[in-house]
Each structure stands twice: as C-alpha cells, then as structure tokens.
Amino acid sequence: MKVNIELPFFPGFYESSLMNSDTAYWAIKDELEYMQDAYILKEHPEYKGLTEDDLDFRYSDFEHDLAVAFADAWWNNAPSIVESVEFSEIVSPKYYNFNTDRLFADVELKENWQEVMRAFMKENADWLKERIKEDWTSYDGFMSFMDNDSSEWERHLFEDTDERYISTMLGYMMYRENNQIREDLVMETLDGDVYAGSYVFITDEAKERMENDIKEGRVVAYDPAQLELPLEW
C-alpha cells in the first residue's frame, strides 16, 4: 500500500540543525577563499577581484536537495514494513511563528504492515498510551487534531487508514528502536553528498565585470585559451 505521509523527525530549515541563517554566509565565505587560492588563480585570474558581494546562494535548490537526502536517510532507518520512500514535496508555513517546514514523501508499505504494526502496538501498549496522551492533548497554544486516546488508534490506522496516524506510528516505531533517531537522521543527511559550497554562484553583475576585464586586457590569463569569450561559469 502506498501512502503520502509527513516524514517524522524532519526539523525544517528555519534555524534548524539542517540549515540556519549562517549556512549561506559560511558557504560563500569558504567558496571565495577557495576561488582565490593561488593555485586556482593561476587558471582563473579573473577571480582575484571577487568579493563576498559578488557571490550568492541557491537557497531553494539547497533546501530541495537536503529534503531529498533526508528522505533517503529516513528510508535507511525506517521500520522493516517500509518498502520504499520517495520525496514528494516540502510544505512551508507563511510565517515561522508556530510551525516549520514539513517534508512529505510517498511511502510504500509492505503487505504485512498491519500485522507488524499491531504487534508493535500490543508490545508497547503502556508506553504508547502515555506517549499519545502527552503528544496529542490540546493545551494553550497547541490545538491537537489527533485522538489522544490510544485505544482509538487501531481504528484510525487500520479502518480509516488515516495517513496522519500511519506517519506518527511509524515515527513511534523508529523512536522506540532508537531514541537518538532525530539526531541520527540529521547527521546522516549532513554527511551525505549535499555540499553547501556547490550552491554558491557568481552573480550576473560580477560575471559581466570579469568578462569586461578580460576583454579589455585588465586581466592577463595564465592560459588564454581557457578564458576565451563567451566564458563558461
């Protein structure tokens, strides 16, 4: 069975463990230092005059690729009843006062998912009763749209097939297996192939200035053949 669910433990992008207000700053700073290394300048002398203001950061691409990497990490740590996980979308709030970004994925569950989930719920009945009551009881500043009575969850899961409950129960299964799962997912995501520096780019204004410097002879190329216009950036 395939369900589209919000992946538990995704921390979002707003001042989170995945990304914060300094991410782009340090990526640009590090890339500029690399671009102005003596070895790089031998082949690209036009980089010498670059400043941090000449570089920018592809935020949306970085966030998308981080989300895909998180979905992959989530699948690597998912319960055995999960057959596959495919990134679907990021849903972001208009304002970050009370909510953060949410990550949705298409999750394929194995044929025996109900049997395995029922067994987990039976084995952890006391823990789930307490946890569900704590997590899903409304209070000032939090309006719960989930049932806080664990005895009702089998109906929501196996009769109504409510994807919100499936998502949450998968999260409980993962947490029960590893109470450090939230931190582990973030670390696995950040240790992957998504490198912030690769999302740094030279602005159009800076490109035009460098092209003019080369064309008008203000920059002497180490290898003129590499700097023939039009330049490849």
Measured distance CA(61)–CA(67) in Å, rounded: 10
Average pLDDT of the chain is 91
Question: What's the distance, CA 175 to chain centroid?
Answer: 19
Q: Per-residue pLDDT tens for 76-102?
A: 999 999 999 999 999 998 888 778 999
- The residue among 99 and 13 whose pLDDT is bigger is 13
Looking at the chain, list the stretches that DSSP marks H as alpha helix, in order from N- to C-terminal side: 23-35, 38-43, 59-76, 113-123, 125-135, 153-154, 163-177, 181-190, 204-215
For 77, which DSSP code?
Answer: T
Instruction: Determine the pLDDT at residue 227.
Output: 44
Q: Per-residue pLDDT tens for 138-159?
A: 998 788 899 999 999 999 999 9
Q: Which of 13-22, 123-132, 211-220 has the highest mean pLDDT?
A: 123-132
pLDDT over 70 (residue 221): no
Min mean pLDDT across 9-23, 36-50, 198-212 is at 36-50
pLDDT over 80 (residue 233): no
231: confidence class by pLDDT, cuts 50, 70, 90:
very low
pTM: 0.88
pLDDT over 80 (residue 188): yes
Instruction: Determine the pLDDT at residue 222.
Output: 54
pLDDT over 70 (residue 195): yes
C-alpha distance from residue 230 to each of 28, 30, 80, 211, 212 (Å): 25, 27, 53, 8, 11
15: its two tokens: 């001042």
Measured distance CA(207)–CA(55) in Å, rounded: 10
Nearest C-alpha neighbor of 52 from the set 79, 17, 25: 25
Average pLDDT over every residue of 198-208: 94
Question: Cβ–Cβ contacts within 10 Å for residue 171, how many?
Answer: 21
C-alpha distance from residue 208 to each of 54, 112, 221 (Å): 11, 60, 17
φ/ψ (deg, to 5) at 136: -120, 25
Which sequence spans correspond to the domains of the chain?
2-110+180-227
Q: Per-residue pLDDT tens for 120-136?
A: 999 999 999 999 999 99
Instruction: Determine the pLDDT at residue 220.
Output: 66
Residue with tokens 């080369």: 214
Residue with tokens 């109906």: 155
Question: Cβ–Cβ contacts within 10 Å for residue 219, how many?
Answer: 19
221: its two tokens: 């190329």
Contact criterion met (CB below 8 Å) for 75 and 181: no
Average pLDDT over every residue of 169-194: 97
